[in-house]
Amino acid sequence: MTAIVGDIQAKGYLDVAIDPTLDLIEEINKLKKEKNAVILAHYYQEPEIQDIADYIGDSLGLSQEAAKTDADVIVFAGVHFMAETAKILSPSKKVLLPDAHAGCSLSDSCPPHLFAKFKEQYPDHLVITYVNCTAELKALSDIVCTSSNAVEIVESLPVDQKIIFGPDRNLGAYVKKKTGRDLVLWNGACMVHEIFSQEKIQQLMHSHPTAKFIAHPECEDHILAMADYVGSTAGMLKFTQKDPSQKYIVATESGIIHQMQKASPGKQFIPAPPNNACACNDCPHMKLNTLEKLYNCLKYELPAIELDAQVIAAAQRPIERMLEISAQLGL
Ligand code: 13P
Ligand code: SF4
């Protein structure tokens, strides 16, 4: 076992050979029943992982699901901060992440020790952090938010409440614009949502004049300014289901297109083009998870999320505040 754990630290996952004759979907379903496990997957996962999940959603939906599940084991097909959030909400459960190296550039852009210093400069400010951050950063926060509820959470506070918002400068700027509040922003960003080319999107809109342009609020302001709809992944998905258009240019990670296509088979979804021909809209962290890693992770119950009890205790309250406000607002 020591060797296996050592191996996981280096590689991020359990590299145990899998019998190639196994039907992995069948085996995963069997293991889920045996262990009373649930698979929660984010929309940015590979389609085959989305298709085997018990629940697929955006960060808010996934947190709500993690808080209410009665499973003993949660396999989080997503990235590290999401699995940590599930562990904070359900500390007695085993929370597994198929690849422990599935991180997040946005979370990495806000080291907690630097944020603590930043926060010291604004002692009378309330701290709202986007869920895409480490457990330690959540522990330094008053309220957590997601892209589904950031605007509403800020609006739920008194107008004269001074607020620090981190770590995403783009979501922060969007919330500032929507609410008219003067937020102090941390200068962080997501590598996937900052690659879109305004010029190439304009060209695409020109060649598809009936297409609507939809974007995630982690995109830069000049990209959001062109959008017909701005929202979280769940919001974008809902929009494409209700909206009468037949074509959409989608500015977010490409994994969501799998659900959009499933929900509206007759419609066409075009990924928004990145500014560099070598780049793509895939999140390299999200895409580290594979069906094989998920199978091994469920079978051997490794890698598991471990967090310091003090961090869990401090990070729980701001996440619960977000869930309470969201429930009050029916989000
Ligand atoms: P949502 O799915 O909550 O919109 O978050 C997007 C994202 O970047 C997750 O990493
Ligand atoms: Fe992080 Fe961006 Fe990947 Fe989401 S898409 S996990 S914010 S790097």
Residue pLDDT, tens place only, 305-324: 999 999 999 999 999 999 99
For residue 306, say whether it is annotated as part of any ligand binding site. no
Does the pLDDT value for residue 237 go beyond 70? yes
Probe residue for ligand 1, chosen from 110, 132, 193 as the CB with the greatest number of ligand atoms within 8 Å: 132
User: Quick one: 51 exposed, middle or buried, by C-beta within 10 A (0-12, 13-18, 19+)?
Assistant: middle
Query: What does the pLDDT read at residue 329?
Result: 93
Does CATH place domain 2-102+285-307 in 3.60.150.10? no
Distance of CA 159 to the CA centre of its chain: 28
For a ligand 1 pocket test, name from 40, 43, 55, 58 the mutation site with the most ligand atoms within 8 angstroms of its C-beta. Answer: 58
- CA 63 from centroid of its chain's CA atoms: 10
What does the alpha-carbon distance between residue 294 and residue 301 come to, in Å, rounded to a whole number?
10
DSSP state letters, 104-171 = -HHHHTS-HHHHHHHHHT-TT-EEEEESSS-HHHHHT-SEEE-TTTHHHHHHTS-TT--EEEESBHHH
Domain locations along the chain? 2-102+285-307, 106-190+316-329, 192-271
Beta strands in the chain (DSSP E): 37-42, 55-57, 73-77, 94-96, 126-130, 143-145, 163-166, 184-185, 212-215, 229-230, 247-251, 268-271
Would you say the CATH fold of 192-271 matches that of 2-102+285-307?
yes
Q: What's the whole-number mean pLDDT along residues 201-215?
A: 98
Return the bridge partners of 208, or none.
none
Q: Is 48 annotated as a binding residue?
A: no
Q: Fold for domain 192-271?
A: Rossmann fold (3.40.50)
Look at residues 225, 238, 226, 79 and name the one whose alpha carbon lies nearest to residue 148.
238
Q: What tokens does 234 get?
A: 């769940």
Q: Tokens for 200?
A: 């190439």
Pocket of ligand 2 (CB under 6 A): 79, 104-106, 132, 190-192, 253, 283, 285-286
Span from the CA of 78 to the centroid of ligand 1 (angstroms):
10
> Please, which residues have CB within 8 angstroms of residue 5's CB and are 6 or more apart in sequence?
302
Query: 1: pLDDT confidence band, cut at 50, 70 and 90?
Result: very low
Q: Which residues have C-beta atoms less than 6 Å from ligand 1?
A: 43, 58-59, 132, 146-148, 190, 216, 218, 232-233
Distance 109 CA to ligand 1 centre (A): 16
Tens-digit pLDDT profile for residues 2-39:
445 667 888 999 989 999 999 999 999 999 999 999 99
- Give the atom of ligand 2 at the shortest distance from the alpha carbon of 218: 7
CATH classification (class only), 106-190+316-329:
alpha beta
Average pLDDT over residues 172-181: 98
Give percent above pLDDT 90 in the chain. Answer: 95
Do 77 and 160 touch, CB atoms closer than 8 A? no
How far does the centroid of ligand 2 lie from the alpha carbon of residue 106, in Å?
A: 6
